[in-house]
Amino acid sequence: MRTQVAIVGAGPAGLLLGHLLHRAGIDNVVVERHDRRYAEERIRAGVLEQGTIDTLDEAGVGERLHREGLPHAGIELLFDRHRHRIDLAALSGGRAIVVYGQHEVVKDLIAARVASGRPLLFESSDVAVHDVDTDHPSVTCVHDGEPTTIDCDYIAGCDGFHGICRAAVPDGAIRTFDRVYPFAWLGILAEAAPSAHELVYANHERGFALFSMRSEKITRLYLQCAPDEDLAAWSDDRIWSELHRRLETDDGWTVNEGPIVQKGVTPMRSFVCEPMQYGRLYLAGDSAHIVPPTGAKGMNLAVADVRALSKALIARYASNDDTRLAAYSQTCLKRVWRAEHYSWWMTSMLHRFPDSTPFMDRVQRSELAYVTSSEAGSRVIAENYVGLPFDE
């Protein structure tokens, strides 16, 4: 099989790239290791930045997100039993966020892909990339039991943090930057009406907690836990009791309980590889960088990467102009490092570190008091949370 761009991975990055290229008339094939159901049901991110919403709108896949997503104009930080609101819209010139599950974005993109008639090869095994440092790269895999070769001009590595694309770059051709945190998040989905309209990020002496939601009927909650936490040790009762303690406020606000329909543990790390390209292989999304989820940036960065990559490939095919392709990594890394700092900073301000000292606890408390009382402090949170404008 021959195509212009071979895309490895059908997460938000790979699917959106495939769709943006399709709309520009650029032929592409998407190869995915898992089946459609896995892609559509994997519960992950929930916060879409303004720029992500704009990109999905421009790509013609924003209709359901506007109908079913929950627009939010603020978030709250909870500490010392009080909630403090950050007015995102007022502090960022009217930008805001929408809460809409990543798997819903994926469903919308898969539907658009199927309608386009272009190939999306689910359940492909033994996926490998070849000759990426030549002008005739290829991807091989086994699909429907048949060994398959996809000859192409370019390869997009959109296969997540544990994928094969970054691993195919020879040692020494990329540099990596890494930080692993001494905690993780235990996340649940509960069939319970959210008891507040906005997200609540809590710093508590027993550890961080986050109140979020997916719909008027589903609450999404997270608790800071150990990196190697054993889920079996967490009965539903224990989870609720810990959530109530960490999210308790003096004004009597409390989370609503309901049947827990999903539980999982998410490790926390920061990671960047530089450059995000080797030869004709371009990395996008989690395959090139990871942020801890505290800043809600991961999927948004994946969307920003493929927005830049699609524009670069369109310029290349439309007018044989390689300038944007050559600048791809540099363009993306500027935004990536901003998000890396913000996610690290929010994580540091809101979590309990096992090696913390009474001095560091007081410093953290002072920082929270400052960012929630000073307009300048609140603005730093707001403008980063809603996402900075694209540098185009």
Chain residues binding ligand PHB by CB under 6 A are: 45-47, 199, 212, 220, 293-294, 296
Which member of 19, 297, 311, 351 is catalytic? Answer: 297
Q: Is 298 in the site for ligand RFL (CB under 6 A)?
A: yes
Q: Which of 5, 11, 246, 311 binds ligand RFL (CB under 6 A)?
A: 11
Q: Which does 18 bind (CB under 5 to 8 A by kind): ligand PHB, ligand RFL, none?
A: none
Which amino acid is present at 125? Answer: S
CB nearer to ligand RFL: pick between 186 and 255: 186
Show the beta-strand stretches assigned E in the chain: 5-8, 28-31, 47-48, 70-72, 74-79, 82-87, 97-99, 120-121, 125-130, 138-143, 146-151, 154-157, 175-190, 199-202, 209-213, 219-225, 260-274, 277-278, 281-283, 289-290
Q: Which does 220 bind (CB under 5 to 8 A by kind): ligand PHB, ligand RFL, none?
A: ligand PHB
Q: Which does 302 bind (CB under 5 to 8 A by kind): ligand RFL, ligand PHB, none?
A: ligand RFL
Which class for 208: exposed (0-12), middle (13-18), buried (19 or more C-beta within 10 A)? buried
72 is catalytic: yes
Q: Which of 62, 101, 187, 387 binds ligand RFL (CB under 6 A)?
A: 187
End-to-end CA distance of the chain: 34
Least distance in angstroms from the C-beta of 70 to ligand PHB: 10
317 is catalytic: no
DSSP string, 149-188: EEE-SEEEE-S-TT-STGGGSPTTSSEEEEEEEEEEEEEE
CB nearer to ligand PHB: pick between 72 and 166: 72
**Are β-strands 74-79 and 199-202 bridged in parallel, bridged antiparallel, or unpaired?**
parallel
Measured CA to CA, the distance from residue 318 to residue 333 in angstroms comes to 25
What CA dihedral angle connects 196, 201, 204 and 208, to 10 degrees?
120
Classify 152 in phi/psi space as left (phi over 0), alpha (psi -120 to 50) or beta. beta
CB nearer to ligand RFL: pick between 51 and 298: 298
DSSP string, 132-154: TTSSS-EEEEEETTEEEEEE-SE
Which member of 19, 22, 72, 103 is catalytic? Answer: 72
Least distance in angstroms from the C-beta of 303 to ligand RFL: 8
Segment interacting with ligand RFL, rule: CB under 6 A, options 159-167, 188-196, 242-250, 333-341: 159-167
Q: Is 296 in the site for ligand RFL (CB under 6 A)?
A: yes
If we measure between CA atoms, which residue out of 217, 36, 198 comes closest to residue 111?
36
Q: Which of 5, 6, 7, 10 binds ligand RFL (CB under 6 A)?
A: 10
Q: Which does 10 bind (CB under 5 to 8 A by kind): ligand RFL, ligand PHB, none?
A: ligand RFL
Please tell me the number of Cα atoms within 13 Å of 225 on its side-chain side.
Answer: 23
Least distance in angstroms from the C-beta of 286 to ligand RFL: 4
Ranked by CB distance to ligand PHB, the top (closest) residue is 46
38 is catalytic: no
Q: Which does 32 bind (CB under 5 to 8 A by kind): ligand PHB, ligand RFL, none?
A: ligand RFL
If we measure between CA atoms, which residue out of 185, 192, 230 comes closest to residue 208?
185
Q: Is 293 in the site for ligand RFL (CB under 6 A)?
A: yes
Least distance in angstroms from the C-beta of 86 to ligand PHB: 13
* Token reading at 355: 């090696």
Measured CA to CA, the distance from residue 145 to residue 93 in angstroms comes to 54
Residue 256 phi/psi, 5-degree rounding, is -80, 140
Q: How many residues bind ligand RFL (CB under 6 A)?
A: 36
129, 135 Cβ separation under 8 angstroms: no
* Alpha-carbon distances, residue 131 vs 168, 279, 329 (angstroms): 10, 9, 20
Segment interacting with ligand RFL, rule: CB under 6 A, options 45-53, 146-154, 339-347, 371-379: 45-53
CB nearer to ligand RFL: pick between 78 and 299: 299
- The β-bridge partners of 170 are none
Q: Is 299 in the site for ligand RFL (CB under 6 A)?
A: yes
Q: Which does 62 bind (CB under 5 to 8 A by kind): ligand RFL, ligand PHB, none?
A: none
Binding site for ligand RFL (CB under 6 A): 8-14, 31-34, 39, 44-47, 102, 124, 127, 158-160, 163-164, 185, 187, 266, 285-286, 293, 296-300, 302
